[in-house]
Amino acid sequence: MPAALLQLAVVVPTFNERANVIELIARLHALLRDIDHEIIVVDDDSPDGTAEAVREVAREDRRVRVLQRVGRRGLSSACIEGMMTTAAPAIAVIDADLQHDETLLPQMLERLTSESLDLVIGTRNAGGGSMGSFAESRVRLSEAGRTLSRLVTHSELSDPMSGFFMLDRRFLEEVIGSLSGVGFKILLDLIASSARPVRFVEIPYHFRERLHGESKLDVVVGLEYLLLLIDKKIGDLIPPRFVVFGAVGGAGVVLHLAILWALLRLGGQRFLVAQAVAAFVVMTVNFFVNNALTWRDRRLRGRAVMLGLLQFYAACAIGAFVNVRVAAYAIQHGTPWYLAGLAGLLVGSVWNFAVTAATTWRVRRRRRARPAAAA
């Protein structure tokens, strides 16, 4: 008898979901008894040992695989890379914490294939679905996001934030080259990356309570959402990270002027002293803000923060020098003062961005303890 063909892959992104994911795998196998399937857990090196716990299961069960990413974070990129590891013609993405209703999967697969759709989406907002006991503020935030999403998707999605969907792998191959991979909103990314209208249906479900552990969504996720929208709108022209870096720098200019004013007017300091203090404070603040926002996924922690801060000072000092040289050159060649000033600022910021991206916030691997050699 020929082996059955692989029909479905279920991609499960995890971060600290050790207790939940094992239960989910058991439920999926029971549910998908009659469907040839595999389960791909994409874990971002969770400190709670999620990856190893799943590998233990995988040793006895070849339908289960783990992709453990080291030194990386991000829900969207985890889903994308997980989807790219499978040969299955249909690929589902589902959270590990059992908040999504996995019992929908067979029905989703049925509709995806019988109606030749690109996508089947589990939705919490259409008839019959619900946000469950989601906090009021989360519901409102979600609605705001939905309104914004129309900007990039050009389609009426009732739950564009959904992290629960199934897609046809041909659709994935169509859009893979255009995906942004930032933040949480993988579904929106997929739809906004399509050059043609996407054939999708939505199936309502009730969003359940998280089984164990806590949500990884926080305020900064909102910022990442804006990043995704920016990237989809103008990402070909300007890298979205540079937009954030520039915004942080712009806020820094305002802070600089405020400090300068306070030191001169209230503190009676000499101009050069005030200017130097303001520059130093603003560089320091900018470093921490960039560390928390712009480079959140490569955030420096512990001892690395001090070294990073020193590198940041050095880069900014050279950036300021370049800034002044460019502006001086422009002025000498008859450029009006405001354009010369802007040119200096622009070149200086690009310098700061590029250099700190390659040094302070370069991709590094987490140092890990070597497992003790077997005796």
Residues lying near Mn ion in the complex (CB under 5 A) are found at 95, 97, 99
Measured N-to-C along each axis, helices 219-234 and 240-261 cross at an angle, to the nearest 10 degrees, of: 120
Pair of tokens at residue 345 = 């600022």
Binding partner of residue 15 among ligand GDD, Mn ion, none, CB cut-off 5 to 8 Å per kind: ligand GDD
| Shorter beta-carbon distance to ligand GDD: residue 184 or 287 | 184
CB atoms within 10 A of CB 365: 9
Give CA–CA dist 12/182, Å, rounded.
17
- Length of the chain counted residue by residue: 375
| Shorter beta-carbon distance to ligand GDD: residue 15 or 361 | 15
Binding partner of residue 101 among Mn ion, ligand GDD, none, CB cut-off 5 to 8 Å per kind: none
| Shorter beta-carbon distance to Mn ion: residue 77 or 360 | 77
Shortest distance, position 206 Cβ to Mn ion, whole Å? 14
Residue partners of 204: CB distance under 8 A and separation at least 6: 122, 123, 124, 125, 126, 127, 128, 129, 130
Binding partner of residue 13 among ligand GDD, Mn ion, none, CB cut-off 5 to 8 Å per kind: ligand GDD
Q: What angle do CA 2, 169, 51 make, to 5 degrees?
A: 85
Binding partner of residue 171 among Mn ion, ligand GDD, none, CB cut-off 5 to 8 Å per kind: none
Binding partner of residue 142 among ligand GDD, Mn ion, none, CB cut-off 5 to 8 Å per kind: ligand GDD
Give CA–CA dist 94/97, Å, rounded.
9
| Shorter beta-carbon distance to ligand GDD: residue 96 or 227 | 96
Task: Compute the radius of gyration of the chain from its Cα atoms.
Answer: 25
Binding partner of residue 74 among Mn ion, ligand GDD, none, CB cut-off 5 to 8 Å per kind: ligand GDD
For 83-216, strand residue ranges (E) read 90-93, 119-123, 165-168, 200-204
Q: Give contact residues for ligand GDD (rule: CB under 6 A).
A: 13-15, 17, 42-44, 73-75, 78, 95-97, 99, 142, 161, 163, 184, 215-217
| Shorter beta-carbon distance to ligand GDD: residue 129 or 348 | 129
Shortest distance, position 261 Cβ to ligand GDD, whole Å? 41
| Shorter beta-carbon distance to ligand GDD: residue 231 or 279 | 231
Give CA–CA dist 17/211, Å, rounded.
10
For 99-254, strand residue ranges (E) read 119-123, 165-168, 200-204
